[in-house]
């Protein structure tokens, strides 16, 4: 659906997008994840033909963004960053205008506006001017406008910034729902958002893609080390040396002071089957295991690892 090859865009001396390539198949929800200024917005602006790339190629549904901008835009619904709106217009009036500019015949408009309003939950506000709406509802108006022509591709630039937690959850649900039929690209610098809405993540930093994959794949790939926490009822003097001498355990650190004859440890290993081995170890030494917990690196840690590193 979307093919991007070696895309580069510079603003004067700043390289905003530095030769990125990716492909997004039909019906996938992809998140652009990256710190502010990583090149997410610029990439989206190139895809929506708002800005041209300096070099490289981007195609949407087989149409080139540089030579066939009108064809590309016909197939895209675009919500720019911070969802700008015409405050003095009414909701229906605005949606009708968008539909009209997009060439939807007037006989179709009413039903299409109705559907977009229903999907985005704008019903209760329908009589109001956009300027009277809260940030969350304005965002919905923006989303409704992107849906009006039933586009194949949705490009949403930070669709949840500035919303309160409840609104964020609602908008995410909406995106998930839309993503069942459409190809969606959304950008964000909020990690849980990606985990909540996207099939696949592209982590962008300094205009390049530093990682891509499903959230599971990414967390697994970044996992050099596994942290395991165990609690054992028994004497620390007996337990600690055994743990330390066990093969595969690289570091043993005692967590809190021993109380009620229980000692807690945090173990660092590279062994993915550490849980099973710890169980056998406990059985062999007649320990009573009261806690055994393996912590995987969260996407957040992966993100920090990938984007905080030196260039």
Please name every residue paired with 153 in a beta bridge, in sequence order, or none if there are none.
Answer: 76, 183
* Closer residue to another protein, CB minimum distance, 81 or 240: 81
Cβ contact 185:154 at 8 Å:
yes
Pairing of strands 14-24, 2-11: antiparallel
Cβ contact 75:63 at 8 Å:
yes
Choose the binding region for another protein from 23-31, 96-104, 120-128, 274-282 (rule: CB under 8 A). 96-104
Q: How far is the CB of 265 from another protein (least distance, A)?
A: 54
Work out whether 70 is an interface residue with another protein (CB under 8 A): yes
Q: How far is the CB of 69 from another protein (least distance, A)?
A: 8
Work out whether 29 is an interface residue with another protein (CB under 8 A): no
Work out whether 147 is an interface residue with another protein (CB under 8 A): no
Dist CA 277 CA 284 (whole Å) = 10
Query: Which regions of 150-261 does DSSP assign to beta strands (E)?
Result: 153-157, 183-188, 200-205, 208-213, 226-233, 249-254
Dist CA 82 CA 311 (whole Å) = 29
Work out whether 63 is an interface residue with another protein (CB under 8 A): no
Choice from 1, 17, 24, 51 touching another protein (CB under 8 A): 51
User: Which residue's structure tokens are 């709406």?
Assistant: 133
Work out whether 82 is an interface residue with another protein (CB under 8 A): yes
Choice from 49, 144, 202, 278 touching another protein (CB under 8 A): 49
Residues interacting with another protein, by CB under 8 A? 11-12, 45, 48-52, 70-71, 73-74, 76, 78, 80-82, 84-89, 93, 97-98, 100-103, 145
């Amino acid at each position: 659906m979307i093919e991007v090859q070696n895309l580069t865009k510079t603003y004067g001396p700043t390289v905003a997008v530095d030769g990125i390539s990716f492909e997004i198949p039909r019906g996938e929800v992809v998140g652009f994840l990256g710190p502010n200024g990583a090149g997410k917005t610029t990439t989206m602006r190139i895809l929506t033909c708002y800005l041209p790339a300096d070099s490289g190629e981007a195609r949407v549904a087989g149409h080139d963004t540089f030579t066939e901008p009108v064809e590309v835009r016909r197939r895209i619904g675009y919500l720019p960053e911070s969802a700008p709106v015409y405050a003095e217009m009414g909701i229906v009036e605005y949606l009708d205008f968008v539909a009209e500019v997009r060439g939807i015949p007037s006989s179709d408009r009413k039903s299409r506006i109705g559907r977009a309003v229903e999907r985005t939950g704008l019903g209760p506000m329908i009589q109001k001017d956009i300027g009277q709406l809260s940030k969350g509802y304005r965002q919905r108006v923006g989303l409704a406008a992107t849906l009006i022509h039933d586009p194949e591709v949705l490009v949403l630039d930070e669709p949840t910034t500035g919303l309160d937690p409840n609104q964020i959850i609602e908008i995410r649900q909406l995106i998930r729902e839309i993503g069942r039929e459409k190809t969606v690209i959304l950008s964000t610098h909020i990690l849980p958002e990606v985990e909540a809405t996207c099939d696949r993540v592209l982590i962008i930093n300094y205009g390049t893609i530093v990682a891509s994959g499903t959230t599971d794949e990414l967390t697994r790939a970044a996992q050099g080390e596994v942290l395991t926490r165990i609690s054992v009822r028994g004497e620390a003097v007996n337990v600690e040396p055994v743990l330390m001498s066990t093969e595969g355990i690289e570091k043993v650190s005692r967590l809190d002071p021993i109380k009620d004859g229980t000692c807690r440890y945090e173990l660092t290993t590279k062994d993915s089957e550490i849980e099973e081995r710890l169980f056998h170890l406990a059985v062999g030494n007649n320990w009573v295991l009261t806690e055994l917990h393996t912590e995987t690196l969260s996407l957040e840690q992966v993100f920090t690892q990938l984007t905080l590193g030196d260039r």
